């Protein structure tokens, strides 16, 4: 894992949101990695199991992996900018202000942002974009995502990334063609609309489906995540990749990590290079 070493030294990683389910998985993976050192467990003030970000010694951290909450994003962006620490960001549900903070930080530091760190989801996004580009507006597109009942944001960040990818592949502005759910009596489905549907059910980790339909045919592209450790492994992989690019500010994503063949159709959440 030479990408994650600086002159033979292990990469020092701080995990933001260490008290959460994802944070606990991340701490364990980093702690077990021979080429990494768990330098800080970052939690909200008053939480046990770590320290607040303001109390972290910036000189002891090379990269932050952040799966916390949207309301913490602005503070983390300020911290990584001030201390020139690389940032792997997996928090979803960001508003315009939080996303602007990420973009601003990327002018000073390397930021790896993804709504989903699964390799399978990255491939799903590429395949969906390819299908949308080939079929164009002749195909109706519906995106369905299913998650556990604890998830707060809807549609999921991954579903939004998929929607952006297919809209971009068809030359559309997602904001103009997106429709979340359907209810009541309305007009028939307009050509080019992209439907989005969120299901919250029990303990489902994450399921995403892109359905494309056109006369006499239907194509269904699906991905199921059966263990959230998949995302933790992906985030650690991203941290390894980003370690060698700490001096290259910008927003990177899964297309950069995987060297996808259709990177122009795989939008990072806020590319700022």
Length of the chain: 273
Per-residue pLDDT for 251 more than 60? yes
85, 106: one domain: yes
Number of domain units in the chain: 2
Residue 19 lies in a domain: yes
pTM of the predicted model, to two decimals? Answer: 0.81
**Cβ neighbours of residue 216 under 8 Å, at least 6 residues apart?**
none
Q: 70: closest CA among 109, 122, 113, 26?
A: 113
**pLDDT averaged over every residue in the chain:** 92
According to DSSP, residue 3 is labeled: G
Per-residue pLDDT for 244 more than 60? yes
86, 160: one domain: no
Catalytic residue positions, numbered: 147, 151
* Mean pLDDT of the 218-244 span: 95
Per-residue pLDDT for 218 more than 60? yes
Outline where DSSP puts E strands in the chain: 5-6, 9-16, 36-42, 63-66, 86-89, 110-113, 140-147, 178-180, 194-200, 206-214, 217-225, 250-252
* Mean pLDDT of the 183-196 span: 95
14, 145: one domain: no
Q: What is the pLDDT of residue 228?
A: 87
Instruction: Report the CATH number at residue 186.
Output: 3.30.360.10
Q: What is the pLDDT of residue 265?
A: 38
Q: What is the pLDDT of residue 5?
A: 52
218, 239: one domain: no
Tokens standing for 139? 């195909």
Instruction: Report the CATH number at residue 85.
Output: 3.40.50.720
**Cβ neighbours of residue 224 under 8 Å, at least 6 residues apart?**
206, 207
7, 109: one domain: yes
Q: Percent of the chain beyond pLDDT 70?
A: 92
Per-residue pLDDT for 257 more than 70? yes
* Mean pLDDT of the 203-209 span: 96
Per-residue pLDDT for 271 more than 60? no
Residue 272 lies in a domain: no
Q: How far apart are the C-alpha atoms of 97 and 74, rounded to whole Å?
A: 8
Residue 270 lies in a domain: no
Q: 178: closest CA among 217, 231, 142, 205?
A: 142
Per-residue pLDDT for 3 more than 50? no
99, 14: one domain: yes
Q: How far apart are the C-alpha atoms of 101 and 99, rounded to whole Å?
A: 5
Residue 44: other Cβ atoms inside 10 A: 17
């Amino acid at each position: 894992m030479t990408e994650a070493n600086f002159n033979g030294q292990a990469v020092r990683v701080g995990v933001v949101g260490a008290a959460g389910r994802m944070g606990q998985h991340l701490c364990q993976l980093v702690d077990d990695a021979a080429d990494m050192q768990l330098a800080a467990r970052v939690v909200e003030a008053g939480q046990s199991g770590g320290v607040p970000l303001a109390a972290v010694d910036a000189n002891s951290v090379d990269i932050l992996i952040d799966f916390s909450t949207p309301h913490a994003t602005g503070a983390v962006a300020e911290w990584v900018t001030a201390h020139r620490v690389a940032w792997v960001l997996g928090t979803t549900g960001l508003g315009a202000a939080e996303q602007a903070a990420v973009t601003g930080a990327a002018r000073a530091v390397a930021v790896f942002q993804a709504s989903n760190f699964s390799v399978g989801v990255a491939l799903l996004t590429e395949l969906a974009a390819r299908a949308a580009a080939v079929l164009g507006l002749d195909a109706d597109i519906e995106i369905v995502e299913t998650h556990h009942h604890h998830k707060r944001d809807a549609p999921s960040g991954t579903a939004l990334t998929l929607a952006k990818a297919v809209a971009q592949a068809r030359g559309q502005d997602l904001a103009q063609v997106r429709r979340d759910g359907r209810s009541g009596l309305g007009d028939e489905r307009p050509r080019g609309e992209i439907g989005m549907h969120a299901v919250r059910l029990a303990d489902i980790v994450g399921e995403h489906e892109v359905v494309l339909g056109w006369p006499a045919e239907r194509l269904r592209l699906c991905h199921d995540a059966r263990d959230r450790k998949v995302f933790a492994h992906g985030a650690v992989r991203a941290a390894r990749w980003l370690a060698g690019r700490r001096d290259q500010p910008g927003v990177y994503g899964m297309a950069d990590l995987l060297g996808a063949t259709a990177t122009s159709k795989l939008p990072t959440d806020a590319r700022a290079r």
